[in-house]
Amino acid sequence: MSPQSVNTRTSARQVRDVVFVDGVRTPFGKAGDKGIYHGTRADDLVVKCIRDLMRRNPSLPPERIDEVAIAATTQTGDQGLTIGRTAALLAGLPQSVPGFAIDRMCAGAMTAVTATAGSIAFGAYDVVIAGGVEHMGNHPMGAGADPNPRFLSERIVDPAALNMGNTAENLHDRFPAITKERADRYAVASQQKLAAAYIAGQIQPDLVPVAARRPGEGWDLHTADEPPRPGTTLESLAELRTPFRAHGRVTAGNSAGLNDGATAAILASADAAAELGLPVKMRLVSYAFAGVEPQVMGIGPVPSTEKALAQAGLGIEDIGLFEINEAFAVQVLSFLDHFGIDQEDPRVNRYGGAIAVGHPLASSGVRLMTQLARQFQEDPSVRYGLTTMCIGLGMGGTVIWENPNHADFGKDA
């Protein structure tokens, strides 16, 4: 083939629209021997999500799935062995369906979505399943890791960068206007919003019931998240210790906990979704990842959002809904302050966030997307929304989505 013919074919290639078809998750559990998933395998959690996606979308022939991308931060044991492929096989998908594993720490599922979405846009895939899992009870964060000693000996990163709680304390130092009282107030609001969303039935439609048996006990069916503390008050949070620094500001109450859970989503080209009669809950507009100083990793969503907005030709004022992962309250507040958004703005985390519901690391990106899709359906007045999160070792990730229920959906796209 001549170089001229290659150039002609390349220039004729069209980038295709990518749509979010559906997303589900397990109820999130508390990590450890008292949690609901103690004794349950991580891969079984994600398998349940894949099976439920197929059940919810019967018009999708299993053989039409082109890829299964599953993320895990700790890729060993029941989260190892190329979990995208093993989960596809365990879920009963045809052996012709390939799969792979991804690790970008907390943004694993988000990266599974963006990586496969890029392939859909390019024309390599029509339909994919992307998601993530983290069983922090089986695999505590950082367990088995062996950081290169040059990180410290050559001062490539501050020692605090290797502990996420310390990085949150560093953010408080950098932004003194974000006080512990503000962080606690934000955390209380997260608990209250999640409780209200449960009462309104906004969380349950996308939860996969999970039957689990704890060692020495009988089976139980789990249909709701375990971590929420709806009775949380400012007074109760004020009494919590600050484990990362004496007289610090970061506590278990204004941070996400250690959790177990899994998520999965179906993405497709717009043409394939129309052909197969699949629903379109969101259209992907743009996405971006960015690096920051590892010792203040929580600021990562700021530059990634600026990059994603620039790619989309949008401003922050165009975003009608924000789904921000709440690894730490200070991290969300630094994002909101940067963009001039009040912490009580009704566009922000309408169903609450990870401080209340939990943050099983690599799975959380798809939780954000599933909740945004549900809010798009409820509020057709919103055209654009974003999902964003900070990422360990100093990164941020942002994905911007368009609401198909908006009157101007697809115009000037």
- List the catalytic residues: 106, 359, 390
Return all residues near 56 (Cβ < 8 A) that are at least 6 apart. Answer: 22, 24
Name the residue with tokens 């249909």.
223
Q: How far is it, in rounded angstroms, from Cα 100 to Cα 84?
A: 4
Q: How far is it, in rounded angstroms, from Cα 130 to Cα 99?
A: 10
Nearest CA among 308, 266, 23, 270 for reference residue 123? 270
- Are 37 and 262 spatial neighbours (Cβ–Cβ below 8 Å)? no
Q: Is 182 helix (H, G, I), strand (E, B) or coil?
A: helix
Q: What share of the chain is helix, strand, coil (3-state, %, to 5)?
A: 40, 20, 40
Say how many CA atoms lie within 13 Å of 226 toward its Cβ: 23
Q: How far is it, in rounded angstroms, from Cα 91 to Cα 48?
A: 7
Token reading at 184: 């606690």
